[in-house]
């Protein structure tokens, strides 16, 4: 589904990714772990196409297409979703309007019909309920006045509504209490555990992986993957630290 080959990328002229290669097959969940500054968030932003994150070498194929040739909104329509580490606030725009317009823009780009207002509300209600989120929150402006945990739950509600083929979740577990962590973990399993979908979980800690069992775990350090293994690698990292495990 996703095939990253020898990816180099810079931010503001500073090289961050330095020859990263990774292949994710449909049905798989991969966890990317690593110390601060290793390039984890940069990888997420590069894959989603954030301006200012410049790819200097390498290639990324997503479902057979050249991902890097697509604009951010085209990547979304192709089925890529980035769950933000710090979800962005948009004053004056209600969550419901934002998501409805976004989803319909994706659908039109794929040649599908718009979802009607009532069908959309039904979908939003059911996704919010499944993630234990008060649907009233979705009438408020996007992320404005949301707590850290509410923002992360709202990202998962968005993922549920968009139903992407591939999700990159950037520290979706940070800022969550135990209950929120469990419901976010359940959300990821419910929405994304499928033979046609795949996930890249970016995380610092083992704790989310207690709820979402990864098929593969990678250690990212200095802009490249320095070690890969199964779910047990995450537990080794937790015990020994990155410096030890990567040595």
Partner 1 sequence: MTAPFPTRRQEAWRYADLDALQPVWEQLAEPLTLTVAAGGKLEQCWVPSEEDVQVRRVQLSVGRAATARILVVNSALIYGRIEVQVSLAEDAQFELFATNIGKANSTNEIVTTVTHSGERSRSLQVVRSVLNGQATGSYIGRVEVARGAQQSDAEQSVKSLLLERGASANCKPELEIFADDVRCAHGAAVGELDPLQLFYAQSRGLDPAGARAILLEGFVMGLWDRADDPETIANAARAALRRVV
Residues in touch with partner 1 (CB under 8 A): 48-52, 71-73, 75-77, 81-82, 84, 87-93, 97-99, 101-103, 105-106, 109, 141, 158, 162
Residue 84 vs 146, nearer CB to partner 1: 84
Cβ at position 73, least distance to partner 1 in Å:
5
Residue 18 vs 155, nearer CB to partner 1: 155
Cβ at position 195, least distance to partner 1 in Å:
24
Residue 131 vs 162, nearer CB to partner 1: 162
Cβ at position 165, least distance to partner 1 in Å:
13
Residue 94 vs 126, nearer CB to partner 1: 94
Cβ at position 54, least distance to partner 1 in Å:
14
Q: Which helix (H) or strand (E) holds 127?
A: helix 117-130
Any residues with CB less than 8 A from the CB of 103 and at least 6 apart, and which? 115, 120, 161, 162
Q: How far apart are CA 75 and CA 72, in angstroms?
A: 5
Q: How far apart are CA 9 and CA 39, in angstroms?
A: 10
Cβ at position 46, least distance to partner 1 in Å:
12
Lookup result for tokens 């998962």: 156
Cβ at position 91, least distance to partner 1 in Å:
6
Look at strands 141-142 and 90-94 and give their pairing: antiparallel
Any residues with CB less than 8 A from the CB of 213 and at least 6 apart, and which? 29, 231
Residue 106 vs 221, nearer CB to partner 1: 106
Planar angle of CA 223, 227, 233, nearest 5 degrees: 125
Distance linking the first and last C-alpha atoms of the chain:
30
Q: How far apart are CA 54 and CA 146, in angstroms?
A: 31
Residue 11 vs 226, nearer CB to partner 1: 11
């Amino acid at each position: 589904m996703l095939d990253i080959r020898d990816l180099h990328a810079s931010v503001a002229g500073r090289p961050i990714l330095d020859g990263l290669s990774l292949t994710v097959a449909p049905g798989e969940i991969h966890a990317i772990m690593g110390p601060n500054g290793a390039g984890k968030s940069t990888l997420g932003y590069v894959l989603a196409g954030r301006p200012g994150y410049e790819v200097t070498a390498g290639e990324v194929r997503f479902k057979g297409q050249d991902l890097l040739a697509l604009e951010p909104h085209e990547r979304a329509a192709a089925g890529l979703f980035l769950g933000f580490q710090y979800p962005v606030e948009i004053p004056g725009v209600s969550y419901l309007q934002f998501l409805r317009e976004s989803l319909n823009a994706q659908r039109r780009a794929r040649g599908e019909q718009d979802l009607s207002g009532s069908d959309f509300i039904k979908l939003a209600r059911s996704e919010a309920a499944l993630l234990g989120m008060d649907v009233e929150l979705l009438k408020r402006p996007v992320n404005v006045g949301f707590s850290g945990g509410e923002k992360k739950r709202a990202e998962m509600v968005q993922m549920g509504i968009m139903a992407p083929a591939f999700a990159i979740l950037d520290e979706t577990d940070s800022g969550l209490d135990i209950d929120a962590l469990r419901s976010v973990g359940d959300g990821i399993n419910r929405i994304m555990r499928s033979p046609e979908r795949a996930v890249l979980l970016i995380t610092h800690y083992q704790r989310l992986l207690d709820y979402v069992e990864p098929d593969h775990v990678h250690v990212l350090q200095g802009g490249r993957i320095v070690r890969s293994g199964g779910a047990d690698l995450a537990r080794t990292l937790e015990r020994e630290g990155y410096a030890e495990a990567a040595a």
